[in-house]
Structure 1
């Protein structure tokens, strides 16, 4: 029996950085996967013409669709909240956006951000997910897992909520290659040269590190937020 999977990300490219290889593993086994991306993806900058920003946004949204296609994702849902401003929005509004998609798609597994991330949009996203999945008689979600985002999760030096993975998903070289193709193809403008943590070398090293922690050649790792199991 196949699972239905929802990835809830704050920005375009987070969904691939966080769990792209795991998503490729899900789709390879017949699971249905959707990407919900809450933020528009580009921070407003003074002096940038609106037309230029609009072009960049549409290019980024096209990249999200292309990356999803590489991973075998069925659908991308873009909510387009303002980037790096989730703390100025009502948590209720963000939660409602997540709830609407959960009620429509009825996922059994959700992947989302980690509360200890340095990025405020990431933290607000996981808060909204946690609120949206509270048992209310209409809950379909059996498991929620937090992923790590290079250049955000590991930059948490002051907060006590450190990313301590307790779930490790072994991925094949083919599945990892799909993640890298999505990152360095459609999302290549979002990536950086080594030694930046959004570099090809770092992403590969992280997969090797997480694999080694669990006795796998390569892996993606997660923190389990919730697991509901019927008797």
Structure 2
């Protein structure tokens, strides 16, 4: 099986699906991660030397996390983080389509469409468009994941709430997930904040309790073809 994770920024893949990606890799599936931006440039107005150094750091962190999770290939595009709404959506769709064409994934994990972060919302939309169920599409499943500090902070409404339908047992891979998250130390926060290491670990256990597992990652199923 070929598995593709499409995310907006480095650390989103580890936060949302790190344990699941590690499980896929351990079970012999080919796993790739496709990041639409490095997430660093959102904090800078110009490509200064400091900005470029931070960009390189974020990409290095992503490489480290990918190695920890067993990801076979990592792609990071050059869009500026948190500014994807300044880009024509069709451009992002075409980038994702190109990746799908070259890799031919069977399963895609991506953001939830109701996230507060605009980049997450647009990446989810681009994936859903690029992986629409045409007869020649290799994609049989699309699942959206929760990203702490973006999903639960979204604008609440009945039609965009995160309603997970699939729970993946990551008890054996929780340490691996946390090691990947620790590669993004600069993006972690102290309590009380959803993106603190203890909170991330406990969140997996809470989802496990809700689904009859010791630790779990939740997903909302967007497409399934059998």
- Name the CA distance, whole Å, in 1 between partners of 2:220 and 2:139: 16
Tell me the number of residue pairs that the alignment of Structure 1 and Structure 2 aligns: 224
**Could you say which residue in structure 2 is the equivalent of 1:19?**
17
1:221 equivalenced with 2:198 (yes/no): no
Query: How does 1:85-124 map onto structure 2 within 5 Å?
Result: 85-124=83-122
Can you list the C-alpha shifts for 1:145-199, whole angstroms capped at 9, x where unaligned?
00000000000243431111110001124x1101101111x21111111211110
1:187 equivalenced with 2:184 (yes/no): yes
**Could you say which residue in structure 2 is the equivalent of 1:170?**
169
8 A contact 1:13–1:64 mirrored in 2: yes
1:199 equivalenced with 2:196 (yes/no): yes
8 A contact 1:116–1:159 mirrored in 2: no
8 A contact 1:6–1:111 mirrored in 2: yes
8 A contact 1:169–1:220 mirrored in 2: yes
TM-score, scaled to structure 1: 0.94
- Name the CA distance, whole Å, in 1 between partners of 2:73 and 2:15: 18
- Name the CA distance, whole Å, in 2 between partners of 1:153 and 1:106: 28
Query: How does 1:2-151 map onto structure 2 within 5 Å?
Result: 3-42=1-40, 43-46=42-45, 50-151=48-149
Question: Aligned Cα RMSD in Å?
Answer: 1.2
8 A contact 2:133–2:139 mirrored in 1: no
Can you list the C-alpha shifts for 1:101-125, whole angstroms capped at 9, x where unaligned?
0000000000000011000000000
- Name the CA distance, whole Å, in 1 between partners of 2:225 and 2:88: 28
